[in-house]
Structure 1
Amino acid sequence: MGMITLRSDEELDRLLTELARPGETRSDTIRRAVRDAITLARRERMRQESLACAADERDVTEAAAVQADLEHLRAW
């Protein structure tokens, strides 16, 4: 495991205090913030890909055809 040194300013200190959970160390808060940031970035990429698929007429047509082909397999 590596070590990262972070030089914070007043604003970052305030934000870290706001983000911190009770009993959580600053390191834990920063680790959680980085993990949360990557999760949000991945979700945004998936959202953009979904919008692109929804705007692609060929994808929409193919999805509708597959759904129609599988309709008889639905449980309800």
Structure 2
Amino acid sequence: MAVLTIELDPTTEQVLARLTADGRSATDVVREAIRLADRLRRLEQARADAERLGKDPDDLAEVRAIRRELGDPDAR
């Protein structure tokens, strides 16, 4: 297990105080924040990938072909 030492600015100290006011430890709050940051980064990457694929002519052609094969009347 790694040990992390960080220096907090006053604003972050206030946020940490609010987040620990319910009795949670700073360690638990930081662990949760790291996991949330990771999840947000993965979601953003997935969104960017979907946007890129949604503009890729080869992928769009493949989607249209599959839709035609499935009998989708709106496939162009």
- Same fold judged by TM-score > 0.5? yes
Quote the residue 1:26 is aligned against.
26
Distance 1:65 1:21 in 2: 56
The verdict on how the C-alpha distance between 1:20 and 1:64 changes in structure 2, with shifts beyond 3 A counting, is farther
Higher helix share: 1
What is the one-letter code of the residue matched to 1:11? Answer: T
- TM-score, normalising length from structure 2? 0.78
Residue 61 of structure 1: CA displacement?
Answer: 1.3
CA shift, 1:62, in A, is: 0.1
Note the C-alpha offset of 1:67: 3.0
How far 1:12 sits from its partner (Å)?
A: 1.1
Gaps of 5+ in 1: 72-76
Matched, 1:36 2:36: yes
1:17 counterpart residue number: 17
Counting aligned pairs with the same residue, the percent is 28
What is the aligned length?
72
Specify the SS of the correspondent of 2:44: helix
1:6 maps to 2:26: no
